[in-house]
Amino acid sequence: MDEIIAEVGPEHSVELIRHHSGKRNSLGRMAPQDAAYLARGILSCADGLCGANPPQSGTITADAHLVVSRWNVTQSDGELLLTLTTQCGIDLTFQIAHQTAKEIGAV
């Protein structure tokens, strides 16, 4: 089965790789900021398609609001980890400084 993965490339780049049966082929290289925008758009599309009212074909969902269905706070090596699960079942884990967690809790 083909899998498209991302890895850190040369000169602070992000490289997309097609991985198939132990073979790896580069699909392209991009700047970190471009990779971040691409990732956000792909995540928005994937999550939107799982909702009750999926977007129509051709809809650009680059900065969609993700619906959080679950959240969990854990601790690993003294660091707080916040995991948000989207309606599609995608887990996004964020490391949060204790001071930042206190500020979030004060809101």
10-residue stretch averages of pLDDT, the chain, 107 residues long: 87 91 86 92 89 87 85 89 92 92 85
pLDDT of residue 76: 86
Question: Is residue 24 exposed (0-12), middle (13-18) or buried (19+ Cβ within 10 Å)?
Answer: exposed
The total number of structural domains in the chain stands at 1
* Within a domain: 11: no
Instruction: Note whether 87 and 105 are within 8 A (CB).
Output: no
* Within a domain: 46: yes
Residue where the block lists tokens 């000169």: 11
Query: 16 pairs with which residues across the strands?
Result: 6, 28
Q: Nearest 5 degrees, angle CA 90-CA 94-CA 96? A: 155
pLDDT of residue 32: 94
Instruction: Tell me which residue range forms the domain holding 45.
Output: 31-105
pLDDT of residue 79: 86
pLDDT of residue 96: 92
* Within a domain: 87: yes
* Within a domain: 95: yes
* Within a domain: 89: yes
